[in-house]
Amino acid sequence: MNANPQTPCMASAKYIFVTGGVTSSLGKGIIASSLAKLLQARGFSVTIQKFDPYINIDPGTLNPYEHGECYVTDDGAETDLDLGHYERFLNIPTSQANNITTGRIYNNVITRERQGAYLGKTVQVIPHITDEIKRNFMLLGETGKYDLVITEIGGCVGDIESLPFIEAVRQLKWDIGEHNSLVIHLTLVPYLKSAGELKTKPTQHSVKTLLEAGIQPDILVCRTEHPLPLDIRRKMALFCNVHLNSVVESIDAETIYDVPLLMKKEKLDERVLEKLRLSPEREPDIEAWKDFLGRLKNPTEGVTIGLIGKYVELRDAYKSIAESFIHAGAQNECAVSVRWIQSESLVSDHYESVLEELDAILVAPGFGQRGIEGKINAVRYARENRVPFFGVCLGMQCAVIEFARNVLGIVDACSTEMERETENPVIDLMEDQKKITVKGGTMRLGAYPCDVRPGTLTYEVYGRTRVSERHRHRYEFNNAYLVQFEAAGMMAAGVNPDTRLVEIVELRDHPWFIGTQFHPELKSTVMNPHPLFVSFVRAALEYATQKKMLVSKAVR
Ligand code: GLN
């Protein structure tokens, strides 16, 4: 790092910062991903990282209601769900380095302080914390793998907790010299119905806050429900000190996957390249993306899939699953309508009537006792009625418990997560988890290999014997029961080659019944929909068709 602002060093990568103002939830992650997509489509190698202002070291210890899904990377980092968007848009994996929190920054500095690295000095927010933020801003850029690093700063400008990040951005701009970095500021231009007007004042104030921190944004991206007329754009350009062509409209879109095309129309990528003095290698090649959108928007059929979970009131808790259905639906030219079902509701006498309307059932991941019996009822319904069933992580564990109770007749079978003293722990804490007492980052996390058994449906779906999938759990299938399960028709269709842990179960005598201990949804992207989801949606379609035929026969 060049500490002297007067002698700028040559940065190997260029840095784009995305800040937000006016309100949270404007979609900085989608704007960052869409811009990255366009730059990637022009031949640049791009990565995106997220800097979050909260004090947790990572979001792994946060309740999903609080923060939505925890996205897990190949290298086992528990990260913000925006990293899922980065991967789904760019089709390249992220890692621990792509998500940094204030907690991690302070942790690094404090650990170093205890090691004596700052002996004699008072350790302070400036320069020690801001230096550590800058060092982390540049880590991925310094690998030499990327032409451009986009950094999304969580929260809103003006928040007390994001001040050190904003200050670090200000300093870094100086450190690396002109044309090596730029700031995109995302704001909201609200429409006041009573006045019949779009309002620019919140944007002006937000830019003023950024200016107070010493940062002049280079580009404004304005979220709006209505097209921005020229006079409104002019006003914002004038009062926010940006060029007219750097006021970019970001109008509400039908799907997040439209946003790259909308940004291309607004020339966001061109502005960025001009300001960074980069010559575009080519026009963006986004034909495959457009094909995907074409399939997504012109489905020839439709299915309704139930997602049974205990956090369904906050859909972000299952973000990657919902997106995987979108990718898999487009692949099948089939509109997937997800019905969000609270697992706790599936214990009443009439729960079957809720499930009858579905063309397939997915039992979602989760933790703890709440909602578990409803999930087990959903599995039972799917198994007995030959409805396509997909169990993900806890969903697979529920499938195992249900099979033990209702097929093997082990009526008290359970997971030790729900019932520590159960006599029949068909799901049990993994051996190496037994000595762990610390909570953050200590689950079985990240990518592990899995051997898929030839002759199974899973093998047919993947078309290969060795796969790698991402994990986040502490409990596992108890191999002491494996022989019994297989004899009765629930097969271990995938096992870890090193530990023999069962990673996939499958029912022999069922059209589509698969449970995975891993999270396939974390690897589904627009360009690479996950094969298990693609096949599951196809199975739902087949089931729906059969159901229709039966009904029409009955009518005749
Ligand atoms: N609670 C279960 C476990 O820890 C499942 C976790 C999950 O669904 N991600 O094993």
Question: Measured in angstroms, how far is the CA atom of residue 6 from the centroid of ligand 1?
Answer: 52
Single-letter residue type at 444: R
Cα–Cα–Cα angle for 341, 344, 347, rounded to 5 degrees: 105
Substitution site in 367, 417, 503 for ligand 1 pocket (most atoms within 8 Å of beta carbon): 367
Question: Measured in angstroms, how far is the CA atom of residue 372 from the centroid of ligand 1?
Answer: 12
Residue closest to 388 by CA, chosen among 504, 306, 493: 306
Q: Tens digits of per-residue pLDDT, 109-134?
A: 999 999 999 988 999 999 999 999 99
Asked if the model's pLDDT at residue 555 lies above 80, the reply is no
Largest CA distance in the chain: 90
Nearest residue (by CA) to ligand 1, atom 3, is 473
Q: Tens digits of per-residue pLDDT, 381-390?
A: 999 999 999 9
Question: Measured in angstroms, how far is the CA atom of residue 445 from the centroid of ligand 1?
Answer: 11
Residue percentage of the chain with pLDDT more than 70: 98
Catalytic residue list contains 393: yes
What is the reported pTM?
A: 0.94
pLDDT at 2 (0 to 100): 42
Q: Give me the DSSP letters along 86-148.
A: HHHHH-S---GGGEEEHHHHHHHHHHHHHTTTTTTSPP-IIIIIHHHHHHHHHHTGGGT--SE
Strands 148-153, 181-188: pairing is unpaired
Ligand 1 atom nearest to 365, measured from its CA: 8
Catalytic residue list contains 185: no
Q: Tens digits of per-residue pLDDT, 350-400?
A: 899 999 999 999 999 999 999 999 999 999 999 999 999 999 999 999 999
Residue closest to 533 by CA, chosen among 244, 323, 280, 348: 323
Q: Which residues does ligand 1 sit against, CB inside 6 Å? A: 365-367, 393-394, 417, 472-475
| Chain centre distance of CA 409 | 39
Q: Residue 455 region, left (φ>0) first, then alpha (ψ -120 to 50), else beta?
A: left
The model's confidence at residue 7, banded by pLDDT at 50, 70 and 90, is very low
Catalytic residue list contains 313: no
Ligand 1 atom nearest to 443, measured from its CA: 4
Substitution site in 419, 434, 474 for ligand 1 pocket (most atoms within 8 Å of beta carbon): 474
Substitution site in 394, 471, 476 for ligand 1 pocket (most atoms within 8 Å of beta carbon): 394
Mapping DSSP onto H, E and C, the string for 427-468 reads EEECHHHCCCCCCCCCCEEEEEEEEECCCCHHHHHHCCCEEE
Question: Measured in angstroms, how far is the CA atom of residue 58 from the centroid of ligand 1?
Answer: 18
Question: Measured in angstroms, how far is the CA atom of residue 337 from the centroid of ligand 1?
Answer: 26
Distance CA 371, CA 418 (A): 11
Q: Is residue 40 packed enough to be buried (19+ CB in 10 Å), middle (13-18) or exposed (0-12)?
A: buried
* Active-site option among 70, 156, 240, 393: 393
Q: Which residues pair with 516 in a beta bridge?
A: 392, 504
Question: Measured in angstroms, how far is the CA atom of residue 375 from the centroid of ligand 1?
Answer: 14
Q: Tens digits of per-residue pLDDT, 466-493?
A: 999 999 999 999 999 999 999 999 999 9
